[in-house]
Amino acid sequence: MLKFVKGYMESIDGIATYPMLSLLIFFIFFVVLFAWVFTASKEYIKEVSELPLDQKNQQNIEL
């Protein structure tokens, strides 16, 4: 089965660009995410981290 897939993939022109493109997208995404984490304001991070514990925004569901 693997020989069939490998043979089929080798017959496609320009197939080597797809792994490089996906690696580039992956790398850019995590670099941007890393930059956002270090530039985000501490107040925003604190506010968002406390959302699950905030009592005024929770809905009381009674069965």
Contacts (Cβ under 8 Å, ≥6 apart) of 58: none
Higher pLDDT, 51 or 23: 23
pTM equals 0.57
Residue 60 pLDDT class (50, 70, 90 cuts) = low
How far is it, in rounded angstroms, from Cα 31 to Cα 34? 5
| Per-domain residue ranges of the chain | 18-51
Residue 31, pLDDT above cutoff 80: yes
Question: Which segments of 1-63 does DSSP mark as H helices, in order?
Answer: 2-10, 17-39, 42-49
**Cβ-Cβ contacts under 8 Å for 51 (sequence gap 6 or more):** 57
* Average predicted confidence (pLDDT) for the chain: 82
pLDDT at 57: 57
- Greatest alpha-carbon pair distance for the chain in Å reads 61
